[in-house]
């Protein structure tokens, strides 16, 4: 009888997890019955969240997950699950701070036991797997905190000062950049620095320019595009992944930097990224792919491949391009392209942005104004796809004056508020939970997505003057304010969201017919004006009043532009020089922070 049970256990182990006929680890998919199966088989679940572009994910597959002792331990007590984080926002959002690769170990009931970020060498993985078998108690990495939303929709002064100090202290004066382990441009940190530079902060200007200058070495001068980061506290040791979020961010921020400082190297950087998007990541239908791998294969990594010239690279082959088409990634691309269009006035760039938007509408739209992530939307819809596309529509509206884009942004905002709002505070990542047990019984809340939603909803309110959008922004901000004291990493995006809810954006309105050359010239000047937080509109009186007619503009018989700030509007400007001077004068007005309840 004991022999029969032993044989049954071995058969179950081999069938459940472990090895193929060649002795390689056999991975499982993330399924609805995963933890039911784990409970029945009394197994732990180990989740490998990886990315197709990720160098260290490939290294870990080649070394750690090919190690015989690791495979033996996994076969004895684990169900190993591998998931592409780009394709699964519910999981990648929950564990974004732990990757990539991210390794999470669960109990059979879905309880988190351990979360580890980055590469794990074979010996360390063996020790981890043994330790969990011996003592499955949750470790320090599995701890979480509950957020109690603030009663006020703005940061308390103490928390704001502490966040600001953390932000300033995280800057590395010697080399530039925020943080020193890996060198890259942190998106919110740079946005905050640029916004302070626009307001005349010389220290912020110096930091922004030092970082932008240093990061130029991460741009691939041969094919274009920007590498993900550099390691070892140096800007000159890049990891060669090219990911859409970084392409869009750098293109947008270098475009904004060019608008502010008129340094041609910033414009060249933005254009280098744009040509990479069009040449390598644009699909035949006009949508954009996700990423390109850091390595050609296991034998030829990026350090060997990318120093070669174009001919040398192509002779070896092409690093894999992830040709999935996701709404979120296309929204990022659209926002980056419109920022570059605003400072170049190149119609081909705008056409690429609009082409991607039209593809997403045709292929990823959901009833009610939202968007699904990909063709298969396991666990969706996700807040990121709709919020990012909503922001992209606002960017297209500012770039074109086409009110259809603004209407689509409003529908996206309505979808977010209806489907993802948690009445207890903040916004969920997904409409439904990823499972029924453990941490998955309730959808996750990601801090970065709270920031994104607050900023999107606030700008939507500025365009519409709609209390629903304003309350939606305030709802998210109350959650962020409540979480401020518990934040484990610098989040300058919280400072940005707090500022934007408290002050009016730079507001420029063109009044005139859209085919009039003078109106077109004024619009081009307004779009290129360096204001990161901007409300830009075009009032062609034949189209009726603007959605938020908080200012009545006169028909002067010829095209004119008006700038408003702090509830004061300028005299009309009739040419580019007048408009530049007027907006600069309005920008110098003292900014008052509004108290929000």
pLDDT in tens, 263-291: 999 999 999 999 999 999 999 999 999 99
46 in Cβ contact with 104 (< 8 Å)? yes
Domain boundaries, the chain: 2-142, 157-333+370-502, 507-587
pLDDT in tens, 322-357: 999 999 999 999 999 999 999 999 999 999 999 999
Least confident of 203-217, 378-392, 574-588: 574-588
58 in Cβ contact with 295 (< 8 Å)? yes
State the pLDDT at residue 9.
Answer: 38
Query: Is 157-333+370-502 a CATH 3.10.450 domain?
Result: no
Q: Output the average pLDDT for the chain.
A: 89
Helix (H) and strand (E) counts in the chain: 22, 13
Report the C-alpha gap between 472 and 419 in whole angstroms. 12
Alpha helices in 42-140 (DSSP H): 55-62, 68-77, 89-94, 122-134
Tokens of 24: 């390689």
CATH number of the domain located at residue range(s) 2-142 in this protein: 3.40.30.10
How would residue 15 be classed by pLDDT, with cut points 50, 70 and 90?
A: very low
Predicted confidence (pLDDT) at residue 589 exceeds the cutoff of 70: no
Report the C-alpha gap between 251 and 273 in whole angstroms. 6
How would residue 13 be classed by pLDDT, with cut points 50, 70 and 90?
A: very low
Query: What percent helix, strand, coil does the chain show, rounded to 5?
Result: 50, 10, 35
What is the DSSP secondary-structure string of 149-202? --SSSS--HHHHHHHHHHHHHTB-TTT-SB-SSSBS--HHHHHHHHHHHHTT-H
pLDDT in tens, 230-258: 988 999 999 999 999 999 999 999 999 99
pLDDT in tens, 137-170: 887 776 676 789 999 999 999 889 999 999 999 9
């Amino acid at each position: 009888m004991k022999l029969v049970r032993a044989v049954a256990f071995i058969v179950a182990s081999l069938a459940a997890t472990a090895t193929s006929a060649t002795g390689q680890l056999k991975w499982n998919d993330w399924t609805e019955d995963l933890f039911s199966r784990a409970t029945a088989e009394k197994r732990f679940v180990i989740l490998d969240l990886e990315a197709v572009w990720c160098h260290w994910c490939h290294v870990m597959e080649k070394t750690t997950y090919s190690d015989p002792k690791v495979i033996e331990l996994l076969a004895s007590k684990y169900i190993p699950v591998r998931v592409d984080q780009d394709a699964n926002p519910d999981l990648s959002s929950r564990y974004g701070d732990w990757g990539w690769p991210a390794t999470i170990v669960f109990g059979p009931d879905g309880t988190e036991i351990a979360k580890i970020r980055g590469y794990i060498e074979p010996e360390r993985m063996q020790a981890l797997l043994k330790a969990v078998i011996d003592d499955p108690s949750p470790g320090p990495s599995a701890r979480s905190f509950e957020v109690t939303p603030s009663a006020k929709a703005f940061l308390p002064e103490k928390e704001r000062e502490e966040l600001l100090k953390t932000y300033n202290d995280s800057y590395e004066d010697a080399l530039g950049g925020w943080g020193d382990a890996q060198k890259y441009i942190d998106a919110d940190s740079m946005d905050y620095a640029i916004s302070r530079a626009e307001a005349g902060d010389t220290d912020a200007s110096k930091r922004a320019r030092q970082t932008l200058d240093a990061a130029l070495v991460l741009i691939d001068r041969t094919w274009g595009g920007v590498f993900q980061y550099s390691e070892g506290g140096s800007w000159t040791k890049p990891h060669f992944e090219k990911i859409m979020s970084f392409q869009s961010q750098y293109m947008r921020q270098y475009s904004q930097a060019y608008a502010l400082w008129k340094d041609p190297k910033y414009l060249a950087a933005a254009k280098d990224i744009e040509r990479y998007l069009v040449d390598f990541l644009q699909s035949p239908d006009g949508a954009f792919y996700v990423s390109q791998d850091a390595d050609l294969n296991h034998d030829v990594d990026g350090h060997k491949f990318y120093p070669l010239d174009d001919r040398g690279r192509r002779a070896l082959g092409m690093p894999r391009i992830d040709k999935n088409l996701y709404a979120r990634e296309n929204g990022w691309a659209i926002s980056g392209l419109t920022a570059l269009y605003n400072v170049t006035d190149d119609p081909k760039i705008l056409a690429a942005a609009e082409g991607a938007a039209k593809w997403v509408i045709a292929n990823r739209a959901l009833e009610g104004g939202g968007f699904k992530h990909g063709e298969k939307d396991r666990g969706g819809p996700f807040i990121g796809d709709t919020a990012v596309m909503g922001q992209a529509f606002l960017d297209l509206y500012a770039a074109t004056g086409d009110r259809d884009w603004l209407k689509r942004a409003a529908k996206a905002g309505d979808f977010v508020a209806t489907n993802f709002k948690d009445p207890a505070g903040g916004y969920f990542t997904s409409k439904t939970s990823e499972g029924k047990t453990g941490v998955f019984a309730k959808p996750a809340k990601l801090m970065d997505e709270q920031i994104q939603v607050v900023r999107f909803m606030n700008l939507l309110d500025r365009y519409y003057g709609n209390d629903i959008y304003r309350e939606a922004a305030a709802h998210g901000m109350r959650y962020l304010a409540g979480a401020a004291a518990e934040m484990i990493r610098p989040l300058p995006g919280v400072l940005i969201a707090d500022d934007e809810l408290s002050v009016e954006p730079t507001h420029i309105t063109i009044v005139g017919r859209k085919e009039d050359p003078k109106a077109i010239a004024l619009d081009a000047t307004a779009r290129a004006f360096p204001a990161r937080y901007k409300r830009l509109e075009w009032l062609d009186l034949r189209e009726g009043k603007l959605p938020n007619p908080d200012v009545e503009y006169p028909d002067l018989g010829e095209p004119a532009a008006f700038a408003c700030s702090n509830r004061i509007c300028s005299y009309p400007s009739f040419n580019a020089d007048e408009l530049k001077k007027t907006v600069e004068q309005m920008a110098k007005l003292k900014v008052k922070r509004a108290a929000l309840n």
